[in-house]
A and B are shown apart, each in its own frame.
Chain A
Amino acid sequence: MATTTATITLSSADLLSDELALTTTSTLTQTGTGTGIEHTTGLAMKTITSTAKATASGQVVLYTADDFAAIAYLYIKNLATTAGHKIYIYDDTTSGDPIQFQLDAGDWGFIPMNSDKTYAAYASNNPTKMEFMVLGKDQ
């Protein structure tokens, strides 16, 4: 069985009166079990050229609904280096295409996402590069 881990470190020397140093590691498992995940899309780097939600072209589809079973893990990073060059991740399955995350230049995100929805990205600026990966159990 493969072992896949995700570790986050949050640190600051001057936000609080004492140092903030938080580190936690999660082993990524299939939903509701102790069995490790088995599949990944691999790390992808793509360029977004769309600056509007739900337009026909230029957006990047991060994940298509039901590709993976139950919960899958999404990692995403905005590779832009200019502040204010945002990437917007929205739910393309739900009515109204609600925006769920906004990543400014250099931001990254990681979430065990609902696997029954399609997620897509557009950006505030054309072009904007991003990298992303989905981990879970294919179905």
Chain B
Amino acid sequence: MATTTAAVTLTSDLLSDAMSVNASTTCMKAGTTADGLDQLEYAVVEIPTGDEYDLICSTPTASKASKLYVKNHAIDETYFVAITQNAQAIGRLYGGDWMFIPADFHDAAGDIAITSNGGTNKIEYALFHEGTALTTT
């Protein structure tokens, strides 16, 4: 079993006392604490403005666990990629932003796509999962 850990730290001086929120999770297969996610897709792509790129284009299968990490390496803070899931907008990553979401990307509503805006955005993404249904050519 592979053991993969995802940890986050949020810090801020917004409040009158310093804020520091920490969380950590071991990335597990669906419904178990004994078997970790053991497959990974990890890539870096440059997406010209206006282009849409499918990070995940899955075929429905049985419920499985996935964790998706995406980072926008654009330096220009006005550049962004729009994130959609099943064609519904869920967020935007401006230059320097990252996201990490756990979801079941293997169901019918699991497609994740990004659209580049402002200029060419360099995107790094990692999908930790427990199997996908490969698309037949």
Contacts and interface: CB of A to CB of B under 8 A. Distances in A.
B97 A112 contact: yes
Contact of A101 (B3, B24, B101): B101
Contact of B12 (A31, A113, A135): A135
A138 B101 CA distance: 24
Contacts of A12: 2-5
A56 interface: no
Interface residues of A, number: 59
Interface in A40-82: 40, 42-43, 71, 75, 77
Interface residues of B, number: 55
B134 interface: no
Nearest to A114: B89
Contact of B109 (A7, A98, A112, A114): A98
Contacts of B8: 6-9, 75, 108, 110
Interface of A: 2-16, 20, 22, 24, 26-29, 31-34, 37-40, 42-43, 71, 75, 77, 83-84, 91, 94, 98-114, 117, 133, 135
A119 B8 CA distance: 21
B6 A83 contact: no
B69 interface: yes
Interface of B: 2-15, 19, 21, 23-26, 28, 30-33, 38, 40, 65, 67, 69, 71, 77-78, 80, 83, 85-86, 88-94, 96-104, 109, 126
B31 to A, nearest CB: 4
A3 B85 CA distance: 30
B28 A112 contact: no
A26 B97 contact: yes
A75 B3 CA distance: 23
A104 B101 CA distance: 11
Given A6-B10, A102-B103, A112 B94 contact: yes
Contacts of A75: 8, 10, 21, 23
A110 B126 CA distance: 15
Contacts of A5: 9-12
A24 B71 contact: yes
